[in-house]
Amino acid sequence: MAALLAAIPYARFLGITAERKGNELTTVLPFSEHLIGNIWLPALHGGVIGAFLEITATVQLLFDTQCERLPKTIDISIDYLRSGRAAETYGRAVVTKHGRRVANVRAEIWQEERAKPIAAAHGHFLLTPV
Partner 1 sequence: MTVDVDEIDAHLARIPHAAAIGMELVSRDESGCIIRVPYADHLVGDPDTGVVHGGVLTALLDNASGMAVRAGPNNETSGGMATLDLRIDYMRPAEPGKDLLAHAECYRVTANVAFVRATAYHSERNDPIATSVATFMLGTGGVPKP
Angle at 11 (CA atoms; ends 119, 65), nearest 5 degrees: 80
For residue 130, state whether it binds partner 1 (rule: CB under 8 A).
no
For residue 73, state whether it binds partner 1 (rule: CB under 8 A).
yes
- Phi and psi (nearest 5°) for 113? -120, 130
How far is the CA of 114 from the CAs of 19, 42, 86, 100, 125, in angstroms?
Answer: 16, 21, 16, 32, 25
Comparing CB distances to partner 1, the nearer of 78 and 93 is 78
Residues 123/52, Cβ–Cβ less than 8 Å: no
Contacts of residue 111, defined as CB under 8 A and 6 or more positions apart, other chains included, come to 84, 85, 87, 88, 89, 90, 118
Which of 10, 20, 114, 128 is in the footprint of partner 1 by CB under 8 A?
A: 10
Which of 21, 22, 33, 66 is in the footprint of partner 1 by CB under 8 A?
A: 33
Which of 1, 28, 36, 127 is in the footprint of partner 1 by CB under 8 A?
A: 36
- Give the range of 19-27, 75-83, 96-104, 107-115 binding partner 1 by CB under 8 A: 75-83
Comparing CB distances to partner 1, the nearer of 76 and 95 is 76
Comparing CB distances to partner 1, the nearer of 26 and 73 is 73
For residue 78, state whether it binds partner 1 (rule: CB under 8 A).
yes
Give the amino acid at 7: A
